[in-house]
Amino acid sequence: MPSCYHSQIKFLFAALVCSLSIVSAAPSTIYAKFIPNSVKAGISAGDAFDAVKDHIGWWYDWTPAPRYHTGKPVAVSMLWGDGTADRQDADRLATFKKLTTVPQFLLGFEEPDCASGHGSAGMTVQQGVDAWEKYIAPMKAKGALLGSPSMCKQADETWLAEFKAKIKTPWDFTAIHINKQDLEGVKRDIKHYKDTYGLPIWVTELACVNDVNGFAPCTDQSIINNFIDTVVPYLQSNADVTAYAYSNGQELGDVWPMTKSDGSLSESGKRYISVISKYH
């Protein structure tokens, strides 16, 4: 064959290899900016902060300006609601309005798709749209990366889809809550949000919960250990997930929370730290 033909073949092969390299690098390379401090693992609430701080990239406490803890982990800001749910919600909105710096990451509303009174913001879609455009959207214009409102109903949500269709300022990553008792349930939720919204995912509340007929936190330590042992490696290896946080939220019983009533680490907390420390 003519040498020029061989040259063309080599060129085409090189181009193909280059294209495949770009594809294989996505979305991990593209999504790198969505991984706080390049460490996916985090916590919600600061209860176990001192024990876990060397192994997490971020934390938050559902407020616009997380406090009481300092260090390398990114303190992620959140606007919990539009100030109408209760006094605490109103106080958080007032704090948000006083922010003098632009947060690196800003989380949207807390479970607006469920009624207020049990840790959810309880907002209509229109309330959400109005508050988003008034308070949160301007932060994006200043450089913040925005996380969507997080849904109470997990993969059964409908609120977020309607919200997405009505807002003018899109979010940058999808914030989700996962309350499941096994890896397969976690995978289903991740798949729903990735297939529906196509953006990097932050699991801002992760807990072992039997949600088949209600909301029953896991109480068997062996089930919790298996949940942590299987779910954390999955989240670490899934390029679509750029952050996840062990949930220390409300109504999670006394076995799942990372700390005991005296502030010491629980067996569950020790397990989480043991597993995430393999990655950072």
Continuous H helices in the chain: 3-25, 49-52, 87-97, 125-131, 137-141, 159-166, 183-197, 221-237, 267-276
Query: 29 falls in which pLDDT band (50, 70, 90)?
Result: confident
Half-sphere exposure of 124 (CA within 13 A, CB side): 3
* For residues 25-52, average pLDDT: 89
**Secondary structure of residue 187 in the 3-state scheme:** helix
> How confident is the model over 102-141, as pLDDT tens digits?
999 999 999 999 988 878 999 999 999 999 999 999 999 9
**Taking Cα atoms as reference points, which of 234, 203, 206, 187 lies closest to residue 76?**
203
Domain ranges for the chain: 39-276
| pLDDT at residue 10 is higher than 80 | no
Query: 7 falls in which pLDDT band (50, 70, 90)?
Result: very low
pLDDT for the residue numbered 27 = 56
Computed over every residue of the chain, the mean pLDDT equals 91
| pLDDT at residue 154 is higher than 70 | yes
> Phi, psi (5° rounding) for residue 45?
75, 160
* For residues 221-243, average pLDDT: 99
> How confident is the model over 242-259, as pLDDT tens digits?
999 999 977 899 999 999
| pLDDT at residue 2 is higher than 90 | no
Instruction: For residue 173, give Cα distances in angstroms to 76, 145, 240, 251, 277.
Output: 14, 8, 10, 27, 25
Give the whole-angstrom CA distance, residue 180 versus residue 30.
Answer: 29
pLDDT for the residue numbered 28 = 66
Query: 17 falls in which pLDDT band (50, 70, 90)?
Result: very low
In the CATH hierarchy, which top-level class contains the domain 39-276?
Answer: alpha beta
Residue 204 structure tokens? 């801002």
| pLDDT at residue 183 is higher than 60 | yes
